[in-house]
């Protein structure tokens, strides 16, 4: 692997254990002012010292993140739709690789929508972004299975992550499911798991624990961290589960100092 790409990837997935806790705050690119992110400076800045990387849009990166903070950036590079549309799959590449270089990011991220009417568009966009990324040594993270009516089972998720990896993604983000090890086993690149809609802290921690136990390289978690009543304690708990393998019960108790 090219040095630049390998170096950037190792900033995201930590070489000491091959794991990562990515903090995702890119939701606004199609959801607008998502709950918990209305004032990103206030809600996200205190979490940065605990996250292994930060996934966000260039607008928020430029407006709210101090360039002196040492945190690897995963830049949301796809867009073009909003939650007001029935179909979220009509995305395109929305950021140039030159701007990603200017922002000194460690990876760029793009969603694909396997099975949707814009399936081909997403895959071809991923392919184009990978080509551009290789030019500058910037890896691409493919986000799979976002959408309202998806059956997120192992069969569908394996298909989605494998297509993402075959198209050239260096990391694939997907959802946790039953038989998750089958999803990971058939994917040749690291798989990270999204947190999904806000659930209880106990459930979100268990999700992170189960995902890693069944082969995930970590999580790319958003709402279950920044919408938690105790976001700092929550990200610390998720980190302990992912990097130290502590039990979900111990991690949950640590949030409330039980």
- Site of interaction with ligand 5RP (CB under 6 A): 24, 26-27, 55, 111, 143, 146, 194-196, 220-224
Q: Which of 19, 173, 206, 236 is catalytic?
A: 173
CA distance 177 to 248: 17
C-beta of 175: minimal distance to ligand 5RP in Å? 8
CA distance 7 to 212: 23
CA distance 76 to 73: 9
Q: Is 42 a catalytic residue?
A: no
Burial class of 1 by CB neighbour count within 10 A (0 to 12, 13 to 18, 19+) = exposed
Q: Residue 112: which of 101, 128, 96 has the closest Cα?
A: 128
Tokens of 255: 């949030």
Q: Which 3 state secondary structure label does DSSP give 84?
A: coil
C-beta of 177: minimal distance to ligand 5RP in Å? 14
Choice between 6 and 28, CB closer to ligand 5RP:
28
Choice between 7 and 82, CB closer to ligand 5RP:
82
Choice between 9 and 109, CB closer to ligand 5RP:
109
CA distance 191 to 201: 22
C-beta of 19: minimal distance to ligand 5RP in Å? 17
Choice between 27 and 239, CB closer to ligand 5RP:
27
Choice between 106 and 224, CB closer to ligand 5RP:
224
C-beta of 77: minimal distance to ligand 5RP in Å? 11
C-beta of 225: minimal distance to ligand 5RP in Å? 8
Tokens of 85: 């549309």
Residue 162 to residues 171, 172, 173, 186, 236: CA-CA distances in angstroms?
A: 11, 9, 11, 7, 31
Residues in Cβ contact with 20 at an 8 Å cutoff, skipping those fewer than 6 apart = 12, 13, 14, 52, 53, 192, 217, 218, 219, 220, 242
User: Which are the catalytic amino acids?
Assistant: 173
């Amino acid at each position: 692997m090219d040095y630049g790409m390998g170096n950037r990837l190792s900033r995201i997935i930590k070489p000491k254990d091959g794991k990562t806790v990515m903090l995702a705050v890119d939701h606004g690119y199609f959801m607008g002012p998502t709950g918990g992110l209305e004032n990103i400076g206030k809600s996200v800045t205190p979490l940065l010292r605990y996250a292994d990387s930060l996934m966000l849009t260039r607008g928020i990166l430029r407006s709210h993140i101090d360039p002196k903070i040492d945190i690897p950036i995963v830049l949301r590079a796809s867009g073009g739709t909003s939650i007001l549309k029935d179909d979220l799959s009509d995305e395109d590449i929305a950021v140039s690789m030159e701007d990603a270089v200017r922002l000194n990011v460690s990876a760029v991220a793009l969603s694909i929508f396997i099975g949707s009417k814009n399936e081909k568009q997403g895959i071809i966009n991923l392919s184009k972004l990978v080509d551009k990324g290789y030019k500058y040594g910037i890896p691409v993270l493919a986000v799979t299975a976002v959408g309202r009516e998806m059956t997120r089972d192992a069969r569908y998720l394996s298909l989605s992550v494998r297509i993402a990896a075959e198209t050239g993604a260096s990391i694939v983000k997907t959802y946790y499911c039953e038989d998750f090890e089958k999803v990971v086993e058939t994917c040749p690149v690291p798989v990270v798991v999204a947190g999904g809609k806000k659930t209880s802290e106990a459930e979100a921690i268990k999700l992170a624990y189960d995902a890693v136990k069944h082969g995930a390289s970590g999580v790319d978690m958003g709402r279950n961290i920044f919408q938690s009543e105790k976001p700092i304690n929550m990200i610390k708990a998720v980190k302990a589960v992912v990097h130290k393998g502590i039990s979900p019960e111990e991690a949950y108790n640590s949030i409330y100092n039980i």
